[in-house]
Amino acid sequence: MDHLFKTRTLTTSINAMRKPGGRIFQRHFAPKTNWQPTSRLAWDIISGSEKVLKAIRVDAPAEVGNKTNRKTITMESPRLAEKRLINNYEILDMRRYGELGNELMKTRIAREQEDLRNEFDRTLEFWGAHALRGKIYDSDLSTILVDYNLQSSHAITLTTTARWTETGATVIPDIRKWKRLVEQDSGHGISGWQCWVGWKAMDCLLNDADVRDLLKRDLGVQIAQTGRIASLVGVTFEEYNEVYTAADGSRKPFVEPNDLILIGEGADVFDCPYVSAVADEEMTRQFFFSKSWIQEDPAGRWIFGENRCAPVLKRPDAVVRVTVCDAPA
């Protein structure tokens, strides 16, 4: 049974868990995970250069171009760590069953590791959702871990008369205007458009007469089934209503109900560098780390998990966050 508690076994199993994780982190940051050899992480925050090159003769020297503006952020990698105790009397009871006891202990360890993964995945989603707003906060919602310096022009609150709940609201022109803002400010090749929408903002979107005219019967069925608009003026709108529990015990949404977050996706918009705590050279690039040790009093074994990564918004100008209506009462 002791072999079940080896670091290699535990680390392999916690990484092998097929957990879907949060939708924001999985869509934007998980595909960009990359191992770093040092706990001191560094990445570039990029704003585009829109300069157009002039033609030169074949035999002429190349010109020195204006560099794309990059600001390097360096920080110690954030660390998530949690541990769970399996009491010694449980271990002794399972040892009595021989091979069956091994299977029971596997299930027991898996349950603890699944709880650890759930907490890690929820926190990474919390960080990812706040990165889209321009700042990553710690769980107290006041300590800033990373500030991506989102421009004020990309954090918009519609005036009272322009809000989407008002008569004469210009929903589709607004969306197209915010797309142009990203295209003009970010300067990267946009591969697609994704918009995360709070429930009240989605209500406003679907209540707009011009939007309803554009949504055909099949799309209406799709929205009812998935809460997702596959394409409206070239943007995928996805309703997001998941919540987390803050340090003070209050439940808060990852995306505010009256907000939308529009993203011009591209190859270098997001990043997710990470550090592994695994000492084994053959396992140094594992995203999650897990180990176990014996405690004498109270007698038992700790199951420990750790993750050290940073969801990075490399191009803040690729994001626009908009408050489109009043917050729900």
Q: Where are the domains of the chain?
A: 2-50+70-141+275-310, 151-268+315-323
Q: What is the pTM of this model?
A: 0.87
Q: Which residues contact 113 (CB under 8 A, 6 or more apart)?
A: 10, 13, 14, 17, 290, 303, 305
Rounded Cα distance between 278 and 127, Å, is 23
* Pair 110, 15: CB distance under 8 Å: no
Question: What is the band of 222 on the pLDDT scale with cuts at 50, 70, 90?
Answer: low
Residue 152 clears pLDDT 90, i.e. is over it? yes
Residue 2 pLDDT grade (very low, low, confident, very high; cuts 50, 70, 90): confident
For residue 41, the model assigns a pLDDT of 85
By percentage, how much of the chain surpasses pLDDT 70?
Answer: 88
**How far apart (Å, rounded) are the C-alpha atoms in residues 318 and 135?**
15
Paired residues of 294 in beta bridges: 301
Q: What pLDDT is stored for residue 76 in this prediction?
A: 85
Q: Which of 71-80, 101-110, 233-242 has the lowest mean pLDDT?
A: 71-80
Select the more confidently predicted residue: 110 or 21.
110
Provide the sign of the torsion angle of the four alpha carbons 36, 38, 39, 44, taken in this order. Answer: negative
**313-323: string of b/e by CB count within 10 Å (b at 16+)?**
bbbbbbbbbbb
Sorting pLDDT into bands at 50, 70 and 90, what band is 67? very low
What is the CATH class of 151-268+315-323? Answer: alpha beta
Question: Whole-number mean pLDDT of the chain?
Answer: 86
pLDDT of residue 63 exceeding 60:
no
286 phi and psi angles, rounded to 5 deg:
-75, 135
Q: How far is CA 233 from CA 47, 80, 119, 164, 173, in A?
A: 25, 40, 37, 17, 10
- Judged against a pLDDT cut of 50, whether residue 51 lies above it is answered with no
pLDDT at 219 over 90: no
Cβ neighbours of 29 (radius 10 Å) = 24
Its sign, for the CA torsion 241, 260, 322, 270, is positive
Q: What is the pLDDT of residue 71?
A: 77
pLDDT of residue 179: 97
- For the segment 109-116, the average pLDDT, to the nearest whole number, is 93
pLDDT computed for residue 288 by the predictor: 93
Is the pLDDT score of 300 beyond 50? Answer: yes
**CA 156, CA 164: separation in Å to the nearest integer?**
13
The residue-averaged pLDDT of 52-64 equals 49
41/178: higher pLDDT: 178
SS3 210: helix
Closest CA to 4 of 114, 110, 90: 110
Element (H, E) at 135: strand 135-137
What pLDDT sits at residue 205? Answer: 93
Q: What is the pLDDT of residue 183?
A: 95
Over residues 123-146, the mean pLDDT reads 92
Read off the pLDDT of each residue in 123-148 and give the average, rounded to a whole number. Answer: 92
Beta bridge partners of 322: 156, 260
Highest mean pLDDT among 55-69, 144-158, 211-225: 144-158
- How much is the average pLDDT of 186-198? 94
The residues, ordered by sequence, that sit 6+ positions from 182 with a Cβ below 8 Å of its Cβ are 190, 262, 263, 264, 317, 318, 319, 320
